[in-house]
Structure 1
Amino acid sequence: MTPVTVITGGSRGIGAATARRLAHAGHHLALGYRRDHHTADTITAELRATGVRAVAVPADTRDPNQVTALFDAAAQLGPITGLVNNAGITSPIGPFTDLDPDDLRHVVDVNLIGYILCAQQAARRMTHGAAIVNISSAAATLGSPGEYVHYAAVKAATDALTIGLAKELAPHGIRVNAVAPGIIRTDIHALSGQPDRPDRAASRIPLGRPGEPDEVAAAIAWLLSPDASYTTGAILRVGGGL
């Protein structure tokens, strides 16, 4: 049976790198994205050129109805075997005391509520042998002081979600793991107001450089693969030593 994988936030960054890697491994793909139709269409065409089936579905993962529509579209490709819970945002970097409540709610809604809604849809539809990978962050254990403590707290919740769901779904033969990236070259840094953050942070990363999206995608692909058949409830750190 051909694997069918849903990737939220699949049109850019880690999500797009993961889609490319999985396409070359023979996965059919359903990519959820928010706004950029052109980019979503471009990567979908690229994936199809490898010989797999791929669809791009506009979906705000905070909305249960849009999440359902994303999974309905994925199910048209075949039985869903994988979910990469990747859609996420930060907010402007700054002191905790300056955190805007609207930014806080947005981060919680996208990075936690959205993950839960997508994992719930996946769990309802998946059968034995399927797998979920949640994208956490090294921030979950580092705390991100002076930058975004609230984002770190939400990513710690992602880790708890991963561990609890792994135990609940294990009797059904469904594995649940997380990948916790460190500082990776993606446009999420521009959205937080510091596009040059990866390069500025290089000196405090033990390996001396930021990571690339494909290095995270490799870990995700492994956790989805049969090679990780006895791995569940794990949080795989891809952080260059952070």
Structure 2
Amino acid sequence: MDKVLLVTGSSRGIGAATALLAASQGYRICINYLSDHTAAEGVCQQIRALGATAMAVQADVSNEDEIMRLFARIDAEFGPVTHLVNNAASISQSCRVDDMSEFRLLKIMMSNVVGPMLCTKHALLRMSKRHGGQGGSIVNVSSIAARLGSPNEYVDYAASKGALDTFTIGLAKEVAAEGVRVNAVRPGYIHTDFHALSGDPFRVSKLEGGLPMGRGGTADEVAQAIVWLLSDQASYATGTFIDLGGGR
């Protein structure tokens, strides 16, 4: 069976690192991106330099029409998706809940909860033995924030990742007998540019000294866990979480 991997939000950071690592393990990879075409094509070029196959497809994965277009494109060029990493997410400026707008909350929940659920729906229509598929593997990228709550910073983001954790648990049980495994990773302070979206691009460098391990993590370290969970090496793991928080 061809291994066809979709990594949402993979033009940078953890998503890009995951795609590059998976490229060395025989996956055909779709790099999904929202707006930065140049960065997405750059990741594809790196993958092709490794001798693997990749394509970049723009789609807002919080919009079902665009998700359907994304999956149809993959069907046409690579065949049906067999592996999915729900990595795309958004975060907003740090603030308290009593300063959060309805627009902010809806955007976070659409991007971080509804989007992964819709991408999973369309992956299952291709993976699940119930729908004539041959099985597959899904990894959701959650956050240590789901356990900690992120008070005075972004409780909405933490709550969205808590919802993603619950989704992981329920879905893993729902599709276990259909040949589909569902797991998650929960990164903590990781050196990527994602923190710039919350208004604090140097957040990890400022706070890493307080971690038990004394340093922030790297996107490559998170990618190692994701790709292991995707693989047959994790064949008896479903509903499993790997925390990558340096002891936090």
TM-score (norm 1): 0.97
State the Cα deviation string for residues 110-144 of structure 1 (Å, max 9, x = none).
00110111010111111344100000000001011
**Equivalent in 142, 156, 161 of residue 155 of structure 1:** 161
State the Cα deviation string for residues 149-189 of structure 1 (Å, max 9, x = none).
11111100000100111011101010000010011111111
Residue 195 (structure 2) aligns with:
189
Q: Which runs of 4+ in 1 moved over 6 A?
A: none
Distance 1:45 1:210 in 2: 28
Residue identity matched to 1:12: R
Report which stretch shifted further, 173-182 or 202-211.
202-211
Distance 1:234 1:51 in 2: 32
State the Cα deviation string for residues 58-88 of structure 1 (Å, max 9, x = none).
0001111111111122222133210000000
Distance 1:2 1:173 in 2: 16
**Equivalent in 155, 161, 171 of residue 165 of structure 1:** 171
Q: Does structure 1 residue 84 correspond to structure 2 residue 85?
A: yes
Residue 2 (structure 1) aligns with:
2
**Structure 2: gaps (5+ residues):** 128-132
* 1:41 CA displacement: 1.1
**Structure 1: gaps (5+ residues):** none
> What count of residue pairs does the alignment treat as equivalent?
242
Residue identity matched to 1:139: A
Residue 224 (structure 2) aligns with:
218
Q: CA RMSD in A?
A: 1.0
8 A Cα contact 1:53 1:77, kept in partner? no
Residue 98 (structure 1) aligns with:
99
- 1:104 is paired with a residue whose SS is helix
Distance 2:135 2:243 in 1: 23
Residue identity matched to 2:55: V
Residue 37 (structure 2) aligns with:
37
- 2:55 is paired with a residue whose SS is strand
8 A Cα contact 1:4 1:81, kept in partner? yes
Residue 247 (structure 2) aligns with:
241
* 1:42 CA displacement: 1.2
Residue 232 (structure 1) aligns with:
238
TM-score (norm 2): 0.95
* 1:101 CA displacement: 2.0
Residue 109 (structure 1) aligns with:
110
Residue identity matched to 1:239: G
Distance 2:239 2:221 in 1: 21
Residue 73 (structure 1) aligns with:
73
Aligned ranges 1:136-151 → 2 under 5 Å: 136-151=142-157
Residue 18 (structure 1) aligns with:
18
* 1:105 CA displacement: 1.1
Q: Does structure 1 residue 118 correspond to structure 2 residue 109?
A: no
Residue identity matched to 1:100: S
* 1:2 CA displacement: 3.0
